[in-house]
Each structure stands twice: as structure tokens, then as C-alpha cells.
Amino acid sequence: MKIEVYEEYIKYLNFFIHRYGDVIKKIEPQVEAKQDILNKQYMQMIEYAFGFIQKINLFSIQDYKSQLLFIPQLIFYFNDLCECPRPPTLFIDFDVDLEAICKLLKNNRQINYNQNQYFPFLIDISGLSDGYHHLAGFILRHKQNEFTYYCVSIQVKSQELKGNWKKFYHIPIHKLKLIYKECLQKNQTLYTFAEDTEFTYYEIQKGFNYYFNCSFSQYEQKLKMLKALELIMFTNAPFKDIAIQSGFSNYNTLNRVFAKHQIPLKEIPRLII
């Protein structure tokens, strides 16, 4: 069975890796002496980014397979064991600790499923987490047998828990993203913008709930948070400047939004070179 992955999702998850490579390649001559420090920072930032994306529930369980592919994707990028291209901006080989990655995943054993706001529940992925202990052999064999089995198991379980949650929605994800982009460009409310589209306001809102587990405005806010996280982690800019650059009206708004998700700004790790 082929594991399908939304390119859109992988782009979001891996922007941390790309950005990290962009920053550290500027000091490539001194990298060898700082390799241990950089490796520790890398693991710290990946761990924080992974937890951040889960905490703000950036993507819905509809794309759970991509979420669970996050850790193997990191290994593919930083090792030549699989036929997976490296990011073009990354020139440094990291010695990724497989045990550390397994431990990281085991700390995230459940995914918050809130596909429909009236039927929230948790899907236990502990069985999938255990599967990562076999990941080294899986990578060397260039196969997906065990990993596919776990993904299928989660898919079956989610269908058993709520078998008919897919039936109400039909707008493709790429059209939703286009709607979002055009709505921002025209500086219109979604309700006004929807009057000139083939879809109703409520259909569009359902679409964002289906794919992104949030409303249109919440989706916009989460993308701003993601941009702010990138600037905080990889620049030395003050928070007030980061707030404006990431789309928030001011620092107080940025701080309030992050606080709502129980994410203290001052605890976010910043790259030290």
C-alpha cells in the first residue's frame, strides 16, 4: 500500500529543517568544532517544533498519516539510507540519534481528534510509536511494510470510532487554499468573498474544519503563529518586530495568542551561533 502524503503538510513540517540549514551553512568552516552544539540545538528545535504543531493542532487528523511520517522524513533528509532527496539548502550531515527520535515520538502517544467539534476524542497511537523501534531495519530495507501496517491500523480505528465523518464534505483542499489566498488579497471577510464564489460561506467553513480542524480565521491565526515561530527560533529580532512581520497587529496580540495556547514566548528556543 502506498502511503500518500500531502506535499503541503510536509512543507510545513520541514520548513524548520530548511531554515536551520540556511542559517548554519553561513558558518560552514567552523561547523566541525561546533557540531555537537549544533546537533543538540537541532534536536531541541525539532522537538519543540513537533510539540508546537501538535499543541496548536495545526492540522486535523484527516492528515494523520503525514503527521506520523514526520519523524521518518527527518531521518530520510539527514541520512543517505533511503532514496529521498536532501533539501537543497542543507550542506551539513547530522548524526541523528535514532533512540532519541524514538523517545521523542513516545512522548507524543496520542493525537487530539476534533474533526467534528461536537465529537472530540483521542486516538491512541501507542502501537504506532512502538513501531518506530523497528524503524532502523525498515529504512535499510527500503520498505514500508511495518510502517504501512501501523498506518492502516490507525485508519481502521478512526473509521470504527466515527465511520461516517467524511460524508459531508466535497471541496478539494487546493481550492480552499486558493480561496484563503484570494480572500486575503482582496481584503474581504469570508462571508463577503463567498458571495462571488461557487461555494457558500458555510461550505467553506466546513472545509476548513474538515482539513485543518479550525475555522477560516483560526487557520489564518495558526499560519501567523507558524511564521512567528520561525522568526523567533531563527532570528535575533525583538518580539515587537516579529509580531508585525508575522502579521499580528502588535506584540500584545502576539503574546496573547501564544498564551491562549499555553506557549510562553520566552521559552521558545532560539538558535545560538
Query: Do 128 and 32 lie in a common domain?
Result: yes
| 259 inside domain | yes
Give the pLDDT score at 236: 85
pLDDT tens track for 227-238: 898 888 878 899
Give the pLDDT score at 77: 39
Query: Do 145 and 207 lie in a common domain?
Result: no
Mean pLDDT, range 187-209, rounded to an integer: 84
- Of residues 213 and 34, which shows the higher confidence score? 213
**Which whole-number Å values give the CA distances from 267 to 169, 206, 251, in the listed order?**
39, 34, 16
In the structure, what pLDDT confidence band is assigned to residue 26 with cuts at 50, 70 and 90? low
Query: Do 36 and 152 lie in a common domain?
Result: yes
Query: Do 36 and 135 lie in a common domain?
Result: yes
Q: Which of 161, 193, 208 is the C-terminal boundary of a domain?
A: 161
Q: Which of 137, 161, 185 is the C-terminal boundary of a domain?
A: 161
- Of residues 213 and 145, which shows the higher confidence score? 213
* Domain limits for position 232: 173-267
Query: Do 157 and 199 lie in a common domain?
Result: no
Assign residue 177 the CATH number of its domain.
1.10.10.60
CA 99 from chain centre, in angstroms, equals: 22
Query: Do 103 and 191 lie in a common domain?
Result: no
Backbone angles phi, psi at 262, to 5 degrees: 60, 45
- Of residues 173 and 216, which shows the higher confidence score? 216
Query: Do 144 and 15 lie in a common domain?
Result: yes
Q: What does the DSSP assignment read for 120-181?
A: -EEEE-HHHHHHGGGHHHHHHHT--HHHHHHHHHHHHHHHHHSTTTTTT----HHHHHHHHH
In the structure, what pLDDT confidence band is assigned to residue 255 with cuts at 50, 70 and 90? very high
| 235 inside domain | yes
Facing residues of 99 across strands?
none
- Of residues 192 and 161, which shows the higher confidence score? 192
Give the chain's domain count: 2
Residue 174 and residue 206: Cα distance in Å, rounded?
15
Mean pLDDT, range 168-197, rounded to an integer: 82
| 156 inside domain | yes
Q: Which of 130, 161, 192 is the C-terminal boundary of a domain?
A: 161
| 167 inside domain | no
